[in-house]
């Protein structure tokens, strides 16, 4: 992974370049402020889109999940919204860096207000983990938008469901303790809910959940077999999580890990 310093889309923004998917995806991110990590790669791995589908990311940041999703779904169009203008410009720069700019439209603005209705086959997002500033010590100004949302989680889910076409899929990653809030927000509007727990190590409680739901479905909820990220014997990642982080496999959210990709 390279960490070469580069100039950002706005004067004064210092960025560094790193890679995802075992070097197959390049991304410039701010040196200071929030930097996307494994959650973005996991989110992208939970998307399985048909050729010709139109997917949307709410709050794309510098584009980590968007770039990985575009690589895993090469025949899909993407729209993304990012509230921070500098980060939206950086995401557009990263799309061009990875030669996917022709099928990625990135907009500056509030996705919850701009996404519209009945437009997309899939909406995916990694929302800020907190919507109550009293829940944690105040982050730096550069990281606030990634950690704290001015809109409640239920508002994100409502806007995503509004933006989806009938039978479209909503996919998000969140803290495990927000699962009840997620399911409550989906009730009456979506079903076929699949919940994938993400465990740091075997035998440890899940800290993240990936949730997929289908707009308008009445199929029951499924709790899937969890993903264990780190090996207990000192390995950095388990074989399964390593294949996902390298972009060789992905989830189908019916709980099979799909075949390896070039």
- How high is the pLDDT of residue 131? 55
Which has more pLDDT, 206 or 148? 206
The pLDDT mean for the chain works out to 88
In a domain, 260, yes or no: no
In a domain, 262, yes or no: no
Percent of the chain at pLDDT > 90 equals 77
Poorest-confidence range of 3-12, 15-24, 68-77, 199-208?
3-12
- How high is the pLDDT of residue 142? 47
Reply yes or no on whether the pLDDT at 168 is more than 70: yes
Residue-wise DSSP of the chain: ---EEEE-SSTT-EEEEEEETTTTEEEEEESSS----HHHHHHHHT----TT-EEEEES-TTSHHHHHHHHH-TT-EEEEEESSHHHHHHHHHHHHHTT-GGGEEEEES-HHHHS-SS-EEEEEE---SBS-GGGSPPPPHHHHHHHB-SS-HHHHHHHHHHHEEEEEEEEEEEEGGGHHHHHHHHTTTEEEEEEEEEEEETTSPPSEEEEEEEET--PPPEEPPPEEEE-TTS-SS-HHHHHHHTTS--B-SSS-BPPP--
In a domain, 257, yes or no: no
In a domain, 53, yes or no: yes
pTM: 0.87
Reply yes or no on whether the pLDDT at 25 is more than 60: yes
Poorest-confidence range of 39-48, 85-94, 235-244?
235-244
* pLDDT band (50, 70, 90) for residue 32: confident
Residue-wise pLDDT tens digits, 205-256:
999 999 999 999 999 999 999 999 999 776 789 999 999 999 999 997 755 4
**Quick one: CA torsion of 175, 180, 184, 186, rounded to 10 degrees?**
40
In a domain, 121, yes or no: yes
In a domain, 250, yes or no: no
Taking residues 92-102, what's their average pLDDT?
A: 98
In a domain, 143, yes or no: yes
- How high is the pLDDT of residue 145? 45
Burial 180-199 (b: 16+ CB within 10 A, else e): ebbbebbeebbbbbbbbbbb
Which domain range does residue 215 map to?
36-245
**Domain total for the chain?**
1
In a domain, 91, yes or no: yes
Taking residues 88-109, what's their average pLDDT?
A: 98
CATH no. for residue 240? 3.40.50.150
């Amino acid at each position: 992974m390279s960490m070469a310093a580069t100039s950002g889309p706005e004067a004064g923004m210092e960025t560094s370049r790193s890679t995802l998917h075992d070097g197959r995806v390049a991304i410039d991110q701010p040196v200071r402020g929030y930097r996307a990590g494994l959650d973005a790669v996991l989110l992208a791995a939970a998307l399985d889109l048909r050729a010709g589908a139109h997917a949307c990311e709410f709050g794309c940041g510098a584009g980590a999940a968007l770039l990985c999703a575009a690589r895993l779904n090469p025949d899909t169009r993407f729209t993304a919204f990012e509230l921070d203008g500098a980060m939206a410009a950086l995401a557009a720069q990263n799309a061009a860096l990875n030669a996917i700019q022709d099928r990625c439209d990135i907009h500056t603005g509030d996705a919850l207000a701009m996404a519209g209705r009945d437009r997309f086959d899939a909406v995916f997002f990694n929302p800020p983990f907190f919507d109550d500033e009293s829940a944690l010590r105040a982050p730096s100004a550069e990281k606030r938008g990634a950690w704290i949302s001015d809109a409640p989680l239920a508002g994100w889910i409502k806007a995503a469901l509004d933006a989806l076409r009938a039978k479209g899929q909503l996919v998000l990653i969140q803290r495990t303790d927000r699962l009840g809030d997620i399911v409550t927000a989906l009730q009456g509007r979506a079903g076929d809910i699949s919940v994938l727990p993400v465990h740091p190590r075997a035998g440890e409680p899940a800290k993240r959940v990936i949730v997929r739901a289908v707009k308008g479905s009445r199929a029951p909820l499924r709790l899937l077999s969890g993903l264990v990220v780190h090996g207990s014997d000192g390995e950095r990642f388990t074989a399964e999580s390593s294949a996902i982080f390298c972009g060789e496999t992905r989830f189908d959210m019916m709980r099979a890990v799909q075949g390896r990709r070039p």
